[in-house]
Structure 1
């Protein structure tokens, strides 16, 4: 079985209000890429992945005029994908939903949120992800309220062979320092926003601990937008979101080989899953942002991970059609895990 996570930049801009692909020469949300070109590139990538399920980060918008599920199912039908059924959880206001495309012939997946509903009054521990978490962010003996701008998608999944597991799709993000006018304000806003992101990771980890206590096989996947050595805030806070979600080494730790490799290397090359153009510096920045983090149940089933990086993965590099499609389709590249189901 193959499970993928894929952050598709501005997927929403490829669909009209009737959930149909524009597939024309209008500009997409990606710089200097038409909607037709991005659509075609995504078709090549999804067909090459041939996954049983794809956790899509930045899925098409859910609003009064547009449906995430209908848009994704229309996309799957257009390209004849076997992962053709879609499911999502709580919508958000960012035009970047979290949703799963899956093959109904190989597995069944449905939204199954956990935790008590807290509302905006909040609760401690691990409340439902569409509520608020009460946590002291700045050690001032006063509880702060933290919310997810993109509530994680919690799924109950069962394969046709009867293997049941949980899946959590996540997109953790630290807001840009909007409104900051001085370097000091940029730093202050950045620290406050990173605190909120780490609090979201703590919240997610609390849910993970509940599943571990129940002995439930679990996959946490998506864009954690954070990782070892990514920015100056890591040294300030000591741990990245990735480290919090994975847990300390020992019985409660989850595993992702790319994260493990990056965490073990302070110098030297590390895996990357994204490629961004830094306009002010006129260069590309590559970073490891996308993860598939699992319990040992999947390693026992022969799990193998792969980052579909067009420049680093030899198979992708040697296939010019796929290589170019990966560059055109998004600023992130898919990550997959294969295991015996």
Structure 2
């Protein structure tokens, strides 16, 4: 079976309020890309992926007028995808949902959130992801109240062969100091954002530990907006979000080969899952942001990871139509994992 995570930039802009695709010459939100161009490119990419299960990061919006599920199922039908059923967990107010597309002939899936509901008072023991997590982030004897801007999607999955596993789709908050003026404010906001992101990682890690302790096969997929060596503030906290969520080798940990390779190098790695244009510098920045982490029991199921990078993956590079589609479709590239389950 093939599992995938794919962050689709401005996916929401490709649909009207009725969930219909806007196949026209309007601007998509991606730099210099029209809506029809991005839709066609995404159709090529999703068709090439041919995945059984896809965590869609930055999925179309869910609100009083719009339906994430309707939009994704309309998209899947337009390109006759096997992964044609959609599932949404907790919605959010960022217009960037975390959703699942899956092949109903291959798996059954349901949103199955774990943890207690907290209300505004919060809790310290890994509450439900739409709640409030209380944690002292800076050892000042005062608890911080932390929320997910994008609550992770928790899925109970069963394959057609009867194999059960847990799946968590995540999109942690960006560390970019949006709106900051001056070096001091940039520093303050960057540190505050990183503290919040690490708190979210700790919250997610505690849920991971619960599943590992119960002996449940587990997969964590998504855009963690973090990795070793990505910014100058990391040394203040000792570990990246990726390290926290995976856990220490030798203990109850998750595994992603690209993350482990980056951690071993510490000086940076050529592995990347995203490509952003920096208009001021007039160049592209590449970063490893997207991961598919698995529990140790799943490592024994003949796993094969792949980053669908148009320049670094030979098969993507050698098919011009796919290469150009990957560049037009999003500023992130899909990551897949094939498993014998």
TM-score (norm 1): 0.98
- CA deviation string 1:234-259 (max 9, x = no partner): 11211000000000111311100000
Q: How far apart, CA to CA, are the structure 2 residues paired with 1:11 and 1:152?
A: 18
Alpha-carbon shift at residue 269 of structure 1 (Å): 3.9
Check whether the contact 2:292–2:337 (CA below 8 A) recurs between aligned residues.
yes
Tell me the residue number matched to 2:21.
21
Q: How far apart, CA to CA, are the structure 1 residues paired with 2:42 and 2:268?
A: 32
Q: Give the total of aligned pairs.
A: 341
Secondary structure (helix, strand or coil) at the match of 1:286 reads: strand
Tell me the residue number matched to 1:300.
300
Q: How far apart, CA to CA, are the structure 1 residues paired with 2:132 and 2:299?
A: 33
Tell me the residue number matched to 1:100.
100
Tell me the residue number matched to 2:109.
109
Alpha-carbon shift at residue 177 of structure 1 (Å): 2.5
Bigger mean CA offset, 326-335 vs 293-302: 293-302
Check whether the contact 1:261–1:270 (CA below 8 A) recurs between aligned residues.
no
1:143 aligns with 2:156: no
Check whether the contact 1:119–1:130 (CA below 8 A) recurs between aligned residues.
no
Alpha-carbon shift at residue 173 of structure 1 (Å): 1.4
Alpha-carbon shift at residue 179 of structure 1 (Å): 4.3
Q: CA distance change for structure 1 residues 268 and 135 in 2, over 3 Å: closer, same or farther?
A: closer
Q: How far apart, CA to CA, are the structure 2 residues paired with 1:232 and 1:279?
A: 21
Tell me the residue number matched to 1:170.
170
- CA deviation string 1:253-274 (max 9, x = no partner): 1100000111111346431000
Q: How far apart, CA to CA, are the structure 2 residues paired with 1:119 and 1:268?
A: 41
Q: How far apart, CA to CA, are the structure 2 residues paired with 1:145 and 1:309?
A: 38
Secondary structure (helix, strand or coil) at the match of 2:189 reads: helix
Secondary structure (helix, strand or coil) at the match of 1:264 reads: helix
Q: How far apart, CA to CA, are the structure 2 residues paired with 1:230 and 1:167?
A: 26
Q: Name structure 1 gaps, 5 residues minimum.
A: none
CA RMSD of aligned residues (A): 0.9
Tell me the residue number matched to 2:250.
250
Q: Name structure 2 gaps, 5 residues minimum.
A: none
Q: How far apart, CA to CA, are the structure 2 residues paired with 1:239 and 1:21?
A: 42
1:216 aligns with 2:216: yes
Tell me the residue number matched to 1:233.
233
Q: CA distance change for structure 1 residues 15 and 228 in 2, over 3 Å: closer, same or farther?
A: same
Q: How far apart, CA to CA, are the structure 1 residues paired with 2:40 and 2:313?
A: 21
Q: CA distance change for structure 1 residues 197 and 268 in 2, over 3 Å: closer, same or farther?
A: closer
Check whether the contact 2:228–2:268 (CA below 8 A) recurs between aligned residues.
no
Check whether the contact 2:229–2:268 (CA below 8 A) recurs between aligned residues.
no
Alpha-carbon shift at residue 4 of structure 1 (Å): 0.2
Q: How far apart, CA to CA, are the structure 2 residues paired with 1:77 and 1:55?
A: 17
Alpha-carbon shift at residue 176 of structure 1 (Å): 3.3
Q: How far apart, CA to CA, are the structure 2 residues paired with 1:280 and 1:191?
A: 23
Check whether the contact 2:55–2:221 (CA below 8 A) recurs between aligned residues.
yes
Secondary structure (helix, strand or coil) at the match of 2:328 reads: helix
- CA deviation string 1:112-171 (max 9, x = no partner): 000000112110020000000000112110001000000000000000001000000000
Check whether the contact 2:11–2:60 (CA below 8 A) recurs between aligned residues.
yes
Tell me the residue number matched to 1:65.
65
Alpha-carbon shift at residue 175 of structure 1 (Å): 4.7
1:320 aligns with 2:317: no
Q: How far apart, CA to CA, are the structure 2 residues paired with 1:38 and 1:174?
A: 24
Q: How far apart, CA to CA, are the structure 1 residues paired with 2:94 and 2:314?
A: 35
Check whether the contact 2:262–2:268 (CA below 8 A) recurs between aligned residues.
no
Tell me the residue number matched to 1:185.
185
TM-score (norm 2): 0.98
Q: CA distance change for structure 1 residues 11 and 108 in 2, over 3 Å: closer, same or farther?
A: same
